[in-house]
Amino acid sequence: MNDTTKTGAPEAGVAAMDVADWWRTEIIDMAPGAIRVRGRPIEELIGNVTFPQMIWLMLRGELPGASAAKLLEAALVAAVDHGPQAPSIAAARMAVTCGLPLNGALASAVNMLDDVHGGAGEQAVELYGLIDDAGGPEATEACLERWTTERSAFIPGFGHRFHKPVDPRAPRLLGLVDAAALEGVCTGRFAAIGRAVETTLLARKGRPVPMNIDGATAVIFAELGFPPPLARGLFCLSRSVGILAHAFEQMGQGGRNKGPTPPRYRWTYNGPNPIETDDAG
Amino acid sequence: MNDTTKTGAPEAGVAAMDVADWWRTEIIDMAPGAIRVRGRPIEELIGNVTFPQMIWLMLRGELPGASAAKLLEAALVAAVDHGPQAPSIAAARMAVTCGLPLNGALASAVNMLDDVHGGAGEQAVELYGLIDDAGGPEATEACLERWTTERSAFIPGFGHRFHKPVDPRAPRLLGLVDAAALEGVCTGRFAAIGRAVETTLLARKGRPVPMNIDGATAVIFAELGFPPPLARGLFCLSRSVGILAHAFEQMGQGGRNKGPTPPRYRWTYNGPNPIETDDAG
Amino acid sequence: MNDTTKTGAPEAGVAAMDVADWWRTEIIDMAPGAIRVRGRPIEELIGNVTFPQMIWLMLRGELPGASAAKLLEAALVAAVDHGPQAPSIAAARMAVTCGLPLNGALASAVNMLDDVHGGAGEQAVELYGLIDDAGGPEATEACLERWTTERSAFIPGFGHRFHKPVDPRAPRLLGLVDAAALEGVCTGRFAAIGRAVETTLLARKGRPVPMNIDGATAVIFAELGFPPPLARGLFCLSRSVGILAHAFEQMGQGGRNKGPTPPRYRWTYNGPNPIETDDAG
Amino acid sequence: MNDTTKTGAPEAGVAAMDVADWWRTEIIDMAPGAIRVRGRPIEELIGNVTFPQMIWLMLRGELPGASAAKLLEAALVAAVDHGPQAPSIAAARMAVTCGLPLNGALASAVNMLDDVHGGAGEQAVELYGLIDDAGGPEATEACLERWTTERSAFIPGFGHRFHKPVDPRAPRLLGLVDAAALEGVCTGRFAAIGRAVETTLLARKGRPVPMNIDGATAVIFAELGFPPPLARGLFCLSRSVGILAHAFEQMGQGGRNKGPTPPRYRWTYNGPNPIETDDAG
């Protein structure tokens, strides 16, 4: 009664349409016994396209050629893991010791791939795009200046606190881009831009600030035409593999409520009225 | 066309009702300019009920008396924090250094309050309920036996790896339950059951396995009639305060992608083909 | 001194220190059998402070007076729920039908209280602070101009797509601020600023754009001296109550993998090569 | 002093080791400029192994042959999406309208792939394992009986509320298993078990309860030797692709705080003291 009035009594067809229209997608269509993804029957995709091709199809609506998909695949392979010092990996390992199943461990961990931990690739694609729009490699210095002023003191995708002087993934990935550019799979202009950033930073700082995994995968994503947010999304997919592997390994190791450091180190308390030894039981 | 056919063309009133009915609740009713929670206008609650009373009203549909709400409040106050060695707290602190805002840090952290980290209170309410159903304190030994056989080697709510011999929160909370029982706010029978578990475990193990925060808050939740899952839910609310405080403090301390231990300790690699020192760049 | 000894050193002192120091806090100190929060023994807080006082103590390091805590409490009570149309509430209800326990439902839902859904309070505290720094209510128009230009077309904390012309929570909360200001608990200057924003928007738009729950709680948070990020944090605490209540209610209702709308409405597919009715089995 | 006692005073080398040992892994080793995954230099993997091979290597420590990896790849491709009626997909779409970036949308959504939404594959691998351990297909009826009694009324991996009579993904995936078995990539015995379950259920219920996506991918995971929890993990990886695609599409569509149904339908309130139409402003 009450509820009818509250919701109004929409007319037949209208009601059906506005509800069905509330969720709209170009990604998937279904009928009983039939699933089409981006217009393609699922059973024709299964067994016939690679997982990276499927990822591309889902995200962009078209199937990439084999070589382009291979380049994407290299980026996905490269970023799977960086060990338990990465907060996301540590969180996933802690999570399973708290009782979470793998989906929950993934959730807590992938959530952490935010602006600082997982956003560098996205930002690097943006930066490369800025430089490209401004005319390419020669515009690098000016664009870096602008980035520093308008966006952040951090140049995304360059420098590594651990891998010095070289992040071993970067030259390998750039080599693959060069090969793909020779093949005509991509233009290679974002590889040139990435290298120009590296050169400029070296000159600016007087020491190498080498391209890291985010800078290198961003070259690939930019070469392949992925918009910036998908660079973050693809990194999340890739790193999910490492998160999963570590969470599963920790399940095997056991442990309950595993903290960040061995318990006896505890933490430093800097606040008022600390507990004196004699106070404690 | 296509879509109409797919969804069928529901008749007017029907369509409205099945959509509006899809989400049903006894918790909240709204109209433009009006909000009623459990049948009470929100503006009459604001400023007139305490936050614990509101929590109780939302979860259970009725407003508790002041004394019962005070007992709930004591449990909520007691469990807010246990320091950065708790995986949830560590995760929240890591999360903000990855770029997450406070909602995101809360999410990654609260997620970890699962069966092992946050489920002990829920399990303790279940255990107390079992004992109560079996006749009360005298049934303790038999029920613990059954619990160990059917559920888990861990007796939820008892023992602490750090607070030995006593978790300072437990006796204080039990004292409040005793006082409330004298006042007639609750019966005190779950306090008796909790103490019987403690006594039985001491006899069984030959050493104290004292009631911990989960065991003590579970006594309160059971005394107040909360079903087991809400013991976990209420613990999550309480611990959210600590998670928030630590996440915010870490924001002030700064840091980027803070790992679990200082970076130079790294981790121990036990797998095949380790990197020899000479191998590294 | 004290701390060196704590952990010894790989090169003794050094290692010990850097590990224990890796996690530093002014919030909590512990020793076996002893917990102090912000320097106060936990057993003295339990039963003696209200939950809102504990929240304040944890977040800010000091215990508020009873009247200030009451004002905070009113804000916490006001924002607990806005029904299943709120994406966070819907997500929590879906989550339990996917098998998640309450901690997991809270996590998926609280995560959604991001910039758009949960950030308005934080932004409103910032906006009020801007106006206050610029001289108070008379600076409102200029500051709104600046906000629109530099930050967003959305004025945070004002306007509501459902509660027209008035969000019933706002005048009630402002009344409590006025009373508290008379008592000297706060100055009332952010209430004046909030009202000035409302007046200015009415003049600007030629129709009421009334203060909503975020705008009103932000007045309280600003009056009480909470920094902007904690406005979001406190909103998360408050809304967690509603999330929990709805998730628990849904557990009772049952359902498996409950989708957003009744299944027969499904969604509208706008992509290539749709499935024709005759195609389907 | 105080703190010394708290933590003990570890000797030099010892301290270093217990901290470094706190996080142990066989997955990844690093030195400046060098990363080895499962003992293999990362730069030799990039561009040389497929993403499914890398997933396998990370999870299990060894590189699979090309054919086995292809079979895994088919399972990963098959499960990427099931449309916005799936609670995880709806949650991801809602999440971005709340302001979350893609990592956050993934987190809220993947979290929902719990026992009911994402656990069926894991449970199906367990069920197939039970049947296999009990002697294979002939043991199916007895094992189903046991499953129903001891575990759940739901037989995981069979039946679909939408795809009747056939989930189009299942026969395609089983066809690939058959081909792989002929090739000697796997034994085919879990395909036989899966078919035996289907036959038994048909006889039991007198109507088809066909194998669904979870049942079919579980056949593949079991054939390839993945332990049950990884079936859930691999499903999470696969469905993450769909979550990402829908979240990104929703970003493009815009919307703020998008609820589950069009706002005018709202929800049905079943509690006390409903708001009468005349009450509302």
Tens-digit pLDDT profile for residues C85-94: 999 999 999 9
Q: Give the helix, strand, coil percentages of chain D, each rounded to 5.
A: 60, 5, 35
pLDDT score for B160:
85
Rg for chain B, CA atoms, rounded: 24
Question: Which residues in chain A touch residue C16, judged by CB atoms under 8 angstroms apart?
Answer: 265
If you average pLDDT over residues D82-91, what whole number do you get? 97
Per the model's pLDDT, the better-predicted residue between B15 and D26 turns out to be: D26
Q: Which of B20, B36, B275 sits opposite D265 (nearest CB)?
A: B20
pLDDT at D274 over 60: yes
Asked if D114 reaches chain A (Cβ–Cβ under 8 Å), the answer is yes
pLDDT score for A108:
98
Cα A100 to Cα B108, B122, B148, D101, distances in angstroms = 12, 16, 22, 23
Q: Which of C28, C106, C261 sits opposite B81 (nearest CB)?
A: C28
Question: Which residues in chain A touch residue D97, judged by CB atoms under 8 angstroms apart?
Answer: none
Q: Contact, D249 vs D262, CB < 8 A?
A: no
Asked if D30 reaches chain B (Cβ–Cβ under 8 Å), the answer is yes
pLDDT score for A3:
34
Q: Mind listing the pLDDT tens digit for each residue in D131-142?
A: 999 999 999 999
Does A190 fall in a domain? yes
pLDDT at A13 over 90: no
Within D156-276, where are the H helices? 169-183, 189-205, 213-223, 228-253
pLDDT score for D278:
58
Q: What angle do CA A270, A275, A278 make, to 5 degrees?
A: 145
Residue ranges of chain B whose pLDDT lies below 70: 1-16, 277-281
Question: Which residues in chain D touch residue A226, judged by CB atoms under 8 angstroms apart?
Answer: none
Does B233 fall in a domain? yes
Cα-flanking dihedrals φ and ψ of residue D36, to 5°?
A: -120, 130
ipTM: 0.94
Question: Which residues in chain C touch residue B55, judged by CB atoms under 8 angstroms apart?
Answer: 241
Question: Which residues in chain D touch residue C15, judged by CB atoms under 8 angstroms apart?
Answer: 12, 15-16, 19
With CB atoms and an 8 Å threshold, state whether A263 touches B116: no
Given CA atoms A129, A132, A136, A138 in this order, what sign does their dihedral have?
negative
With CB atoms and an 8 Å threshold, state whether A21 touches C261: no
With CB atoms and an 8 Å threshold, state whether B236 touches C253: no
Residue recorded with tokens 């924003």: C197
Does B156 fall in a domain? yes
Chain D closest-CA separation from residue B208 CA (Å):
21
With CB atoms and an 8 Å threshold, state whether C99 touches D115: yes
Chain A closest-CA separation from residue C162 CA (Å):
12
pLDDT at D70 over 70: yes
Asked if C12 reaches chain B (Cβ–Cβ under 8 Å), the answer is no
pLDDT score for D16:
64
Asked if B135 reaches chain A (Cβ–Cβ under 8 Å), the answer is no
Question: Which residues in chain A touch residue B210, judged by CB atoms under 8 angstroms apart?
Answer: none
Does C81 fall in a domain? yes
Question: Which residues in chain B touch residue C171, judged by CB atoms under 8 angstroms apart?
Answer: 43
Residue ranges of chain C whose pLDDT lies below 70: 1-16, 277-281
Amino acid in position C60 = R
Does A126 fall in a domain? yes
pLDDT score for A165:
85
pLDDT at D122 over 60: yes
Question: Which residues in chain A touch residue C29, judged by CB atoms under 8 angstroms apart?
Answer: 269, 271, 273-275
Q: What is the DSSP letter of B271?
A: S
**Which residues in chain C (254-273) have CB-CB distances under 8 A to chain B?**
261-262, 264-266, 268-269
pLDDT score for B12:
45
Q: Mind listing the pLDDT tens digit for each residue in D187-198?
A: 999 999 999 999
Asked if C61 reaches chain B (Cβ–Cβ under 8 Å), the answer is no
pLDDT score for B133:
98
Chain D closest-CA separation from residue B43 CA (Å):
14
Question: Which residues in chain B touch residue C61, judged by CB atoms under 8 angstroms apart?
Answer: none
Asked if A35 reaches chain D (Cβ–Cβ under 8 Å), the answer is yes
Q: Contact, D261 vs A268, CB < 8 A?
A: no
- CATH number of the domain bearing residue B92: 1.10.230.10
Which range among A162-166, C38-42, D57-61 shows the weakest confidence by mean pLDDT? A162-166
With CB atoms and an 8 Å threshold, state whether B269 touches D21: no
pLDDT score for C241:
98
* Dist. CA C29–CA C46, nearest whole Å: 16
Q: Which residue of B has its CA nearest to C94?
A: B23
Query: Which residue of C3, C6, C29 is the best one to mutate when testing the A interface, meaning the one whose CB has the most A CBs within 10 A?
Result: C29
Chain A closest-CA separation from residue B194 CA (Å):
22
With CB atoms and an 8 Å threshold, state whether D275 touches B36: yes
A-B interface: how many C-beta pairs under 8 angstroms?
178
Domain that holds residue B212: 76-253
* Dist. CA D54–CA D70, nearest whole Å: 12
Chain D closest-CA separation from residue B26 CA (Å):
4
Question: Which residues in chain C touch residue B245, judged by CB atoms under 8 angstroms apart?
Answer: 27, 58-59
Q: What is the DSSP letter of D153?
A: S
Q: Which of C91, C115, C281 sits opposite D108 (nearest CB)?
A: C91
* Dist. CA C195–CA C180, nearest whole Å: 16
* Dist. CA A249–CA B280, nearest whole Å: 26
Q: Which residue of D has its CA nearest to B262?
A: D19
With CB atoms and an 8 Å threshold, state whether B112 touches A90: no
With CB atoms and an 8 Å threshold, state whether C244 touches B59: yes
pLDDT score for B258:
97
Q: Which residues contact A279 (CB under 8 A, 6 or more apart)?
A: C31, C34
Phi-psi region of C38 (alpha: psi -120 to 50; beta: other; left: phi over 0): left
Q: Which of B59, B168, B264 sits opposite C245 (nearest CB)?
A: B59
| Among C154, C155, C107, residue whose Cα is nearest residue C131 | C155
Q: Contact, C21 vs B265, CB < 8 A?
A: no
Asked if D90 reaches chain C (Cβ–Cβ under 8 Å), the answer is yes
Q: Which residues pair with D41 in a beta bridge?
A: D36
Does C5 fall in a domain? no
Q: Mind listing the pLDDT tens digit for each residue in D223-261?
A: 999 999 999 999 999 999 999 999 999 999 999 999 999
Which chains contact B through at least 3 pairs of Cβ atoms less than 8 Å apart?
A, C, D
Question: Which residues in chain A touch residue D166, judged by CB atoms under 8 angstroms apart?
Answer: 33
Count of the separate structural domains present in chain C: 1
3-state secondary structure of B34: strand
Grade residue A6 by pLDDT with cuts at 50, 70 and 90. Answer: very low
Question: Which residues in chain A touch residue C101, judged by CB atoms under 8 angstroms apart?
Answer: none
* Dist. CA C188–CA D180, nearest whole Å: 75
Asked if A239 reaches chain D (Cβ–Cβ under 8 Å), the answer is no
Tell me whether strands A268-269 and C24-25 are parallel, antiparallel or unpaired: parallel
With CB atoms and an 8 Å threshold, state whether B19 touches C236: no
Does B206 fall in a domain? yes
Amino acid in position B248 = F
Asked if A227 reaches chain B (Cβ–Cβ under 8 Å), the answer is no
Q: Which residue of C has its CA nearest to D87?
A: C259
Q: Mind listing the pLDDT tens digit for each residue in A209-225?
A: 999 999 999 999 999 99
Chain C closest-CA separation from residue B119 CA (Å):
9
With CB atoms and an 8 Å threshold, state whether C24 touches B107: no
Per the model's pLDDT, the better-predicted residue between A264 and B172 turns out to be: B172
Q: Which residue of B has its CA nearest to D7?
A: B162
Does C191 fall in a domain? yes
Query: Which residue of B102, B114, B163, B275 is the best one to mutate when testing the A interface, meaning the one whose CB has the most A CBs within 10 A?
Result: B114
With CB atoms and an 8 Å threshold, state whether A25 touches C271: yes
Cα D212 to Cα A58, C114, D118, D223, distances in angstroms = 21, 36, 13, 17
* Dist. CA A52–CA D69, nearest whole Å: 13
With CB atoms and an 8 Å threshold, state whether C8 touches D10: yes
Asked if B54 reaches chain C (Cβ–Cβ under 8 Å), the answer is yes
Asked if B106 reaches chain A (Cβ–Cβ under 8 Å), the answer is no
